[in-house]
Amino acid sequence: MELKLMPNASRDKSQGRALLLTATAAMSIGPAYATDFNITSPSTAAQTLGSGSGQTGSIQSTGSLTVSGTTVAVTISGNNATLTNLGTLNQTGTGRAIRDNTGVTGATITNGSTTNSAALMQAADADVIQMNKPASVTLNNYGTMTSLNASKGGAQAVNFNAITSGNNIINNYSTGILQARDADAVRPGVNGVVNNYGRIIATNTTDTGDDGIDGKTNTGITINNFSGGSITAARHGITGGPADGTTNFTTTINNSVGASITGNDGSGINLDGFNAKQTATIVNGGTIIGNGVTGDGDGIDVDGLINLTNTGTIKSLNAFSSTTPAQSEGVTVGGGTIINSGTIEGDVAAGNTNAVGRGITLGSYGMLISGLGLLGVRGYRRRRNAPRALVAPAHQAVACAF
């Protein structure tokens, strides 16, 4: 390709880099410059925080970086890099907005600030941010990060799934929105931590597997959903599980008073498993809701062992089956311990005559339940204009699945 001089470009060889920047921007070519950058006005030149440690990139509130095609808008390949967006970072083609394909350590990525919730990171048809190797990264979000996922290829707002070692922390603050269309919104890595004070949203048009937070097969994930935080998804609010039955797999979820986890056509929390090697620790003071529109809709579904302390509300709104009766279960688990002083309900929507409600369904791994009462654990089918009460024998407060 011939590089032509623009009228405003210097011909001084000592200004060669400035010449290249001016010319390529004019031609809408987006090479990645491996250096610090500070964008204060609209730009189309892709950037790289490169191999030199501690490089810094900033997009000011007056600036924007818009990159098209397959090019990554900002590539991170150096350790201890810091990227701050106070304006707009937008990948309008099929490339990612931010990507590490090296395996960096000490990366810090911030979208917005305590005084700037208008900051936007968006990708049209790829992940907004992907760490594609084991890495160490902290994400702070005060604004909006959106994966439009035009081709429905499974593009996340935050994709740390490939991180099998290294700290990976996602802080979504009270003004923050992490959202994906027809895809999971957030995928943490192994031992990842998600601190949510804002909103995590996965919506769908025709796709059916869209979860708020999907841990995939990554163990050791901790999710803290603080007061005011909401995790809402087209399918499960939170999901994950081991790849096979030979490995230990742990998950910790804390849902505070005033926080909510909702699965609109699935479980509030769904953790798959094969045996008692899967353990989940869940402390709920808020609301966890599942809803089965096309299938199960359990409040909490843990195939392995659970350590559940509930002072809030855990509820399944409905379950659907076109053949055998569906089971709408507030909590269904393989075994473990449940300490309940809140409400656990299995509900059935009005007009659904092919489902039963169960407060708790127990598996065969052994179980200890304490603090139960009829006001705390209820299994019932709601009848229009009828009071909520235990309905027997089909609808059960506690049932055994073995």
Given a contact cutoff of 8 angstroms between Cβ atoms, the answer to whether 281 and 251 are in contact is yes
The CA-based angle 27-28-32, given to 5 degrees, is 115
pLDDT at 372: 55
Task: Give 82's strand partners.
Answer: 56, 108
pLDDT in tens, 161-212: 999 999 999 999 999 999 999 999 999 999 999 999 999 999 999 888 999 9
Quick count: other Cβ atoms within 10 Å of Cβ 195?
Answer: 18
What are the start-end ranges of the E strands in 45-183? 47-49, 56-59, 64-67, 74-76, 82-85, 88-91, 98-100, 107-111, 120-123, 129-131, 137-141, 144-147, 158-159, 168-172, 177-181
Look at residue 378 and tell me whether its pLDDT is greater than 50. no
- Ranking 223-232, 301-310, 326-335, 387-396 by mean pLDDT, the lowest is 387-396
pLDDT in tens, 56-107: 999 999 999 999 999 999 999 999 999 999 999 999 999 999 999 999 999 9
Mean pLDDT of all residues belonging to the chain = 87
pLDDT at 58: 98
Given a contact cutoff of 8 angstroms between Cβ atoms, the answer to whether 155 and 122 are in contact is no
- Do strands 238-240 and 313-316 pair parallel, antiparallel, or not at all (unpaired)? unpaired
Q: Domains in the chain, ordered, with CATH?
A: 1-30 (no CATH), 32-234 (2.160.20), 242-402 (no CATH)
Look at residue 28 and tell me whether its pLDDT is greater than 50. no
Nearest to 268 by CA among 332, 351, 196, 323: 332
For residues 199 and 116, what is the distance between their CA atoms, to the nearest angstrom? Answer: 16
Task: Give 280's strand partners.
Answer: 251, 306
In sequence order, the 6+-apart residues with CB closer than 8 A to the CB of 282 are 252, 253, 254, 255, 269, 300, 302, 306, 307, 308, 309
Look at residue 338 and tell me whether its pLDDT is greater than 80. yes
pTM: 0.88
Give percent above pLDDT 70 in the chain. 83
Give percent above pLDDT 90 in the chain. 78
